[in-house]
Chain A
Amino acid sequence: MKIKPSLKKKISRTLLYFLLILTTFLVSLPILWMISFVFKPAYEQFKTPPTLLIENLTLENFEKAIKFAALRYLFNSFLVSSVTTLLVIGVSIFSAYCFSRLNFFGKKKLFYMIIFTQAFPLASIIIPLYKLMYSLHLLDTYFSLIIAYLTFTVPTAVWLLRGFILRIPMDLEYAALLDGCDRINAFIRILLPVIKPGIIAAAVYTFIITWQEFMFALTFISTPDLKTLPVGILIFVGQLGLVDWGGLMASSLIVCIPVFLLFLILQKQLVSALTGAFKA
């Protein structure tokens, strides 16, 4: 018996939908589990067998998270990430311009250097950076983190922004130059407004990766009040390894919310920034 092509198509589409839903479900299951867990009261959290369903919804885990960890660390994280982002964009937009619009001696070699530093193993320089912060009396300050974060954010931001500028035709700038505008003005007045979406994408990307930074934050900050979120919420892991899972998962979710929101809202721009930087 021969299967009709239209029926065959229907079967394959059903199969595709099934695969898509199953894959999405499996990938999101850990996050779904976390969400269901933090809305459960303690006695339900320990019930066996564990389930995704919540019988008595409660906010007690969030109350704990906010009381012990979230607010103070949230402020620290916001401060460090936003200042870093501003600095990074300020520095890298000019470099990105050079690599996409100018011809100068050593351009290629310098760009190799930027890419090379992008892939740099940060663990290999953490000891000298620690010593540097120590001798500058910067340990245990926001500055130590902001400076350290420039190491891995500037090269990436230069790379992303360069990709954006390259995709803008030069016509507008040429026209401005013919009208007697100089290069720097053409850059600031003409080019910058056009690449605004690119700048936003690079800024959000920088914010997201500094928001989640862990190794430097763990090394440079020891005063509890100055810790950033990813390290600060370790408060729920006791010295003997006893973990307050409700508090830890609730505060983990709080750390995720801003990043998830930024990601979902700006998904298109971020994806095109990342993949665009790799286009020939």
Chain B
Amino acid sequence: MTLLFTSKLLDNDSFIASLFLAPTIILIIVLFFYPISQTLWLSFTKVTKFEKNPQFIGFDNYIRVFSTYEFYTIIMNSAIWTSIVVAFQFLIGLFTALLLAQDLKLRSIARGLIILPWAMPGAIAGYLWKFLLDSTIGPFNWFLISLGLMREPHSWLGSPSTALFSVILSAIWKGFPFSTLMYLAAIQSIPKELLDAADVDGAGFLNKLRFIIIPYIMPIIRITLLLTTIWTFNYFDLIWVMTKGGPRISSHIFPTYIYQVAFEWSEFGTASVYAFIDFIILCVFSILYIVQLKKGGIF
């Protein structure tokens, strides 16, 4: 009797699902929903790293944060950082994908080498670029000087006017291969007849790109753009290792600033304001991303 009962239960989708999904759902509740609700609560309190009892102060933290120039700088930096990194990762990703999709002999070796920056840990890419851009030992300055573009070495990470662009350059290099892989897979799935037909019609490369390739891979382009936007906006390690957001706050974006305010200045309340705003902005991107996935028929 019991045997019959259990075997019936095991044929019931909902029963198996509740059994199999329980660990994941518990994880998500404990490690995402509980913490983000805590972030919201802490943002309304006066609390430091060492204080046990947060004291409710209403919107005081928000009012204070909105009246600082740091807040607007962080917003600006995040916008500049994200849009330039994403735009260039798209362009370089598409270019390299088109190149690797050609029937060339060395392409599998080339693909392996081109992907490597993406496999490199973010912090390591940060150390590496800090080295390359270093004004005494790094080759970057010397290249520009020998090309006649500069007269003397410049401290790229040390001056507020170039720090953000230096970390942007490194992040483009580090992250573009993901776009390459996505676009390459999409291009390779274009039916051959479509491209052959265009050849018969005598279409040039640019026309093929514009009228066949781009429209065909458009859903993947949209998804990849949103995904790289989300990842870039969330970036921490590369910037932290290269500049710690400095000099002053010239290369800070949300995650680095949240970390500094929380764990170097111990101001948990203020940091939680930034953290919650960060979360709200990401929610917008995430919703767009989910909508695109749905449109693309991915689920």
Chain A: residues with CB nearer than 8 A to chain B?
Answer: 13, 16-17, 19-21, 23-24, 27-28, 30-31, 33-34, 37, 45-46, 48-50, 91-92, 94-95, 97-98, 102-105, 107-108, 110-117, 119-132, 147-148, 150-151, 154-155, 158, 182-184, 208, 211-212, 214-215, 218-219, 230-231, 233, 243, 245, 248-249, 252, 255-256, 259-260, 263-264, 267, 271, 274-275, 278-280
Contact = CB atoms under 8 A, between A and B. Distances in A.
Nearest to B124: A252
B90 interface: no
A249 B127 contact: yes
Interface in B105-133: 106-107, 109-117, 119-124, 127-132
Interface in B150-189: 173, 181-182, 185-186
Interface of B: 7, 10-11, 13-14, 16-21, 23-25, 27-28, 31-32, 34-36, 38-39, 42, 95-96, 99-100, 102, 104, 106-107, 109-117, 119-124, 127-132, 134, 136-139, 142, 146, 173, 181-182, 185-186, 220, 223, 227, 230, 233-234, 236-237, 240-241, 254-255, 258-259, 262-263, 268, 271-272, 275-276, 278-279, 282, 285-286, 289-290, 293, 296-299
Contacts of B128: 30-31, 34, 249, 252
Contacts of A27: 96, 113-114, 116-117, 173
A131 B57 CA distance: 20
Given A31-B120, A214-B121, 14 more contacts: A24-B114, A28-B116, A30-B117, A49-B146, A102-B17, A108-B299, A120-B32, A150-B27, A150-B31, A182-B11, A214-B236, A249-B128, A278-B220, A279-B298
B234 A123 contact: yes
Contacts of A129: 31, 35
Given A230-B121, A264-B112, A98 B259 contact: no
A112 B290 contact: yes
Contact of B182 (A151, A184, A278): A278
B97 to A, nearest CB: 11
Contacts of B285: 119
A128 to B, nearest CB: 4
A124 B279 contact: yes
Contact of A121 (B42, B113, B255): B255
A188 B172 CA distance: 42
Residue from A27, A49, A158 having most chain B Cβ neighbours under 10 A: A27
A251 B236 CA distance: 21
B21 A115 contact: no
A98 B14 CA distance: 9
A49 B142 contact: yes
Contacts of B99: 16, 19-20, 23
Contacts of A48: 142
Contacts of A23: 95-96, 99, 110, 114
Contact of A184 (B16, B120, B233): B16
18 contacts: A19-B99, A20-B99, A45-B137, A91-B27, A94-B23, A98-B21, A120-B32, A124-B258, A132-B35, A150-B27, A182-B11, A183-B11, A215-B236, A230-B123, A252-B124, A259-B121, A263-B115, A278-B223
B181 A110 contact: no
Contacts of A114: 24, 28
Contacts of B234: 121-123
Contact of A215 (B13, B21, B259, B276): B259
